[in-house]
Structure 1
Amino acid sequence: PEDKEYFYRIINQNGEQLLSIINDIISIATIEAGQEKIRHAKTNVNEMLAMLYEQYKFQGSGKSIMLNFRTLPGQASGVIKTDETKLRQVLTNLIGNALKFTEQGMIEFGCIQQSGMLEFYVQDTGIGIAPEMHRVIFERFRQANDNPKKEYGGNGLGLAISKAYVELLGGRIWLESVPGKGSTFRFTIPHIPAEVIHDKRTIASNPVNVMSGKGRTLLIAEDTYANFQLLDAILKKLGYRIIHVENGIQAVESCRNVPEIDLVLMDMKMPEMDGYVATGIIKEMRPELPVVAVTAYALGGDKDKALKAGCDDYIAKPVKPANVLEILNRLLSPSFNGESSKES
């Protein structure tokens, strides 16, 4: 059993690395082809930072690292109009790098409000970056690690993608670093306030309580049984009641006949009736019912098409438990009012 678990971790880790390389290459290709588009949506910066903290707080286990985050003061200042997906990707790249290049000490990320802009930062006490690398580090396939005895992994595309996304969002990115003492990456985006719906919930609320699936019913529309098994295994542990259908027609009928359904996970490529058509019909019947597209990250057009069809969010295949739980936590929270990440 120990050997089985060991080899499982190796296979999973190598699979994640391969997927990361593929996704980064596709992102660079779409950026250079001028096909990347900005999709403005109402985005809660403070919630995003809190979710990222929950996502990464255990990834430093095995190292002597303290992870902290800093939010904007007040609820209203943290709700803005921006491309939530690209902002999250930039922060994910920077936090991931900080964890990769830091063995001990502290990592802190957060946001502060400047004149007309929001400035995000990720600070670490890692290996640092030599001054001559501060500019070239943002070029494709460049890495700051010049120690041949230490292999940190990666493909040298994350910072190039981050720079391109930040500039698309209307900001800039830079770093401050001292070799052997650590680095601070900073970037700005325009501060465009969005309308806020006030509630009594606080950002620091315990996500474990929100994520509990007891008393909730999820519909999974997925024609590939192996994909369904993965989602089923993730969600049943949390107490969700699961209903499984294999095509869009069955999904529509289930939503019509089972009012207890709280959320739909919708594969977009299914026989008889695909997820796009099914989502449109479901939203006409039950506009308040959250529908989450489950689609391939590599097919950027699929994501746009799903959001236009009425989906409230999307999960990239292959499915990652952390992504599923973050979306469920947000869409099933009491504050969700049916507005989605597709809002413009």
Structure 2
Amino acid sequence: MIKFRRTATIKKSAKPQPESKLSRHNKTERTAATRRRARNSIRWQLLTTMIGLIIGLVVTLTVIELVLQKQSLENELSKRVDLMKANLLERGSTMSNLMLTQVENDVAAFNFSHITENLHNTIKESPLLAYGILTNNDGVAFVHSSHPELQQETLTDEASRYALTQQHLAHVEYPALNVTEFILPIHFGNKPWGVLRLGFTMQELNKEIARSQADIATKTRDLIISTALIALVFVLIGSAVVLVISTTLSKPLMRLTESVKELARGNFELATELLDENAQGQKVRFKAQGEIGQLAYSFIEMANEIRRSQDKLADYNRTLEAKVKERTQELERANEKLQELDQMKTNFLSTVSHELRTPLTSVMGFARILQKKFESTLFPPLSQSEDKKVQKAMRQVMENAQIIVDEGERLTTLINDVLDLAKMEAGRVDWNMRELSVEEVIDRAIAATSALVANKPVQLCKAIGEALPLCEGDRDRLIQVVINLISNAVKFTDRGKVICRAQLKDGELVVSVTDSGCGIKPEDQPLVFEKFKQVGDTLTDKPKGTGLGLPICKEIIEHHGGHLWLESELDVGSTFLFSLPLPQQYDPDATLMTQDGEAISLVWQSNRQALVAALQAGLKVTADPLQSPSYSILIIDDDVNIREFLQQELSAENYAVREASSGSEGLAIIAGQQPDLILLDVKMPHLNGFAVAARLHSNPATLHIPIILHTVAEDKFLAEQLGIDYYLTKPAKEMDLLATVRQVLATVPPRKKILLFSGGDAQQDSWAVGLESYGYQVRIAATVEEGVALAVSLQPHLVVADATLATEHQLIKRLRVELGLDRTFFTLLDSPDEP
């Protein structure tokens, strides 16, 4: 037995103060916390668990008892029904056998009237017999008690046909008629003559079954009520017992929990004392026995041990602080020394790299001069000599000169790597960030490394995904990365393929170089991106390089906001991948098509005063192409091969050809100098051909420029919706290309019609003058209704209106959707003071 005591502090009663809102709030929170603790207490959990088990057990036993009793009653009902059916069949069989003899005798005497009379009398006397039917083998009814009108008629119903097939006494139940029919074959002179069908009613049997079922239902209901009452009594008794037990067990544990809280607060004195309350509410020493007593002893020992440990820890902390301070100062001095050494290393590498490049440049230059002199001046006369020593010396000189050039280039590469590393660590790299095409980067890298596979059975391939967008980066640095990856792949691939891929993946541009070489061990893979580390000794007998190529590539890619990683399997091959972020304005889901297939016009909003000033300034109109000695044609296509094909074909016809590799570049060229004709591709990254055409047709300054769309057949509908009347279907033939170009340039385009919604603006005359200076046919509408009427009759190519006016009157919806002007473009003008 353990006895604990706790001192109680008694405070003098103070004058009651009015309760504030804050105190009421705190009191509410304390009450809620107390309720939560009560719900989580062992007493509550034990009580709910045991009561739940009792209820579950009682309910289970009750259900089992009810099911067994119900099955017993149902079995009793089934036996009673079977017994009644057997009794009915026995009585019917006896009566049928008695009547069979009389009927056979009457049939032998052809006394059918007696049979009819006998049947009617039997039906009246016996409530079980419902009807009697006598038919011969042909189905002719000689006697039919229920339907006399069918006598002498041939019965063809299913029951009659079935009865004629029976050779012996049989019985059939017809639930729909509520009868059981006995079929008795009749013989005349030992030969089958016909059948006698006697129908016995089952109404009494069904009534008896219904009475039995009602009796069973009553017994079942009484059983459920009595069983539920008994179960409720058991649940109440069990709950009371569990409540007493849970209270007895949880009370000392709650007292022990209070001491644990005191220990958590650091109050070691109070934590080792336990108190209880007697019936009068006075504090007394708490007594605990059994397992709870052992737990209390262990708790007190733990509290005392913690107190001793904390005292020791406090002493140790005081001495540790001095040691930590001393060691920290030593580490700071060591770190400063390491940083100084690292900076010295960086400066040394940079200095050595620069000093080596100066003589190396001279060596490389003179080596190439000697190589050219040998080939152009010395070797031609010596090649006529038949002296084998001379021929051998010539070959050795050429080979040695080539070795000097090759090794010089290799040394230059190594020095450049060291210099790049020094620059990157010093932060002195000049990054030329601009918009570029990843495919162009790969093409230039492949062109620079194609010589590496010239003398090896290795195929260098590329695989570029469709519609790759432009990205921002340093072109030369990215080419350097791809060249390094391809060079490594070729170096460790004896035969097979090296594939360079570019694709969109998870919202990033991912470029990869895959080889079929020897692969890299998993434990060596983390080392390939570390500076001055090589795993070449595990791959080749003579690893080459400084081990800086991949670390430099990693630095370049990370500066672009991407990351470089490796996927490799030993004896299978390796794949080096790097990612580049997409431009913020790139939208992979951007399209010029609505869900129902209608073309969307790009709304060109501009400053109204700037437009008026430009129109009043009288912008220079492009000369009529028919009067120009040489027509200017702009090719906008992202495929360099297609641009080269079109450029060669059109240049051969004396056209002045300019090229643009993207829609944005094409719009920039047009803004500088307008061409006479535009050859426009549809599938281009970032800004497709439809978007370019929509912008050109939405701008009055470029509305007149004819466009030939270089597209596929499926895009013709949208081309017509955008007002493009000329298109070439891929792949375009030379004759079709030239014929279409001649046709477009030889045709004077009709005057484009423009409708102006003035909205009461006094500057409408300036707008009209400016637009007419471009050769457009301009009509002005003073009101919205007048403008709608003019739009229906004029069918304008372009509508210019104030943005506020168009929004208030829903002009675009009325003209395009309701009036069917789906090929009309809209220019909405915002005032400077409008949001």
Could you say whether these structures have the same fold, taking a TM-score greater than 0.5 normalized by the shorter chain as the test? Answer: yes
Structure 2 distance, partners of 1:86, 1:192, is 18
Distance 1:152 1:59, change over 3 A: same
Aligned positions of 1:69-148 closer than 5 A: 69-74=462-467, 77-147=468-538
User: How many Å separate the matches in 2 of 1:85 and 1:95?
Assistant: 15
CA deviation profile, 1:48-82 (whole Å, cap 9, x unmatched): 222222332332122111111112313xx342221
Could you say which residue in structure 2 is the equivalent of 1:173? 564
Does the aligned pair in 2 maintain the 1:141–1:155 contact within 8 Å? yes
Structure 1 counterpart of 2:379: none
Match in the other structure for 1:182: 573
Give the number of the structure with larger relative contact order, counting CA–CA contacts within 8 Å between residues 6 or more apart.
1
Pick the aligned partner of 1:199 from 636, 644, 647.
636
Structure 1 partner of 2:414: 21
The residue correspondences of 1:1-344 to structure 2 (distance < 5 A) are 1-74=394-467, 77-147=468-538, 150-192=541-583, 199-200=636-637, 202-204=639-641
Inter-CA distance 102–13: structure 2 relative to 1 (3 Å threshold): same
The answer (yes or no) to whether the contact 2:635–2:643 under 8 Å persists in 1 is no
Q: For residue 206 of structure 1, report the CA deviation from its aligned partner.
A: 10
Relative to structure 1, the CA distance from residue 67 to residue 193 in structure 2 (aligned partners, 3 Å threshold; closer, same or farther) is farther
Structure 1 pair 97–204 and aligned structure 2 pair: CA distance change class (3 A): farther
What is the identity, as a one-letter code, of the residue corresponding to 1:25?
Answer: V
Distance 1:86 1:117 in 2: 19
Q: Which has the larger radius of gyration?
A: 2
1:42 Cα deviation (Å)?
1.7
CA contact (8 A) 2:566 2:577 kept: yes
In structure 1, distance between residues paired with 2:548 and 2:585: 32
- The alignment partner of 2:556 has SS state of helix
Deviates more, 1:130-139 or 1:143-152: 143-152
Deviation at 1:38, TM superposition (A): 3.4
The answer to whether the Cα contact below 8 Å between 1:127 and 1:182 also exists between their aligned partners in 2 is yes
5+ residue gaps, structure 2: 1-393, 587-633, 648-835
Greater share of residues in strand: 1
Check the 8 A contact 2:536/2:544 in 1, yes or no. no
The verdict on how the C-alpha distance between 1:87 and 1:6 changes in structure 2, with shifts beyond 3 A counting, is: same
Q: CA offsets, 1:248-299, max 9 Å, x none?
A: xxxxxxxxxxxxxxxxxxxxxxxxxxxxxxxxxxxxxxxxxxxxxxxxxxxx
SS at structure 2 position matched to 1:62: coil
What is the CA-CA distance between 1:175 and the residue it aligns to?
0.4
Residue 310 of structure 1 corresponds to none
Structure 1's consecutive aligned runs of 4 or more residues displaced over 3 angstroms after TM superposition are 203-207
Tell me if the contact between 2:509 and 2:579 (Cα under 8 Å) persists in the aligned partners. yes
Of all paired residues, the percent bearing the same amino acid is 31
- The structure-2 alpha-carbon separation of the partners of 1:206 and 1:93, relative to structure 1 and needing over 3 Å to count, comes to farther
Structure 1: 5+ residue stretches without partners: 211-344
Change (3 A) 1:149 1:131: closer
Query: Does the CA-based 8 Å contact 1:42-1:194 persist in structure 2?
Result: no
Q: Aligned pair in 2 of structure 1 residues 132, 205: CA closer, same or farther (>3 Å)?
A: farther
Higher share in helix:
2
**C-alpha deviation, 1:36, in angstroms:** 2.6
Q: Is the 8 A contact 1:101 1:152 kept in 2?
A: no
- Is contact 1:118-1:189 (8 Å) kept? yes
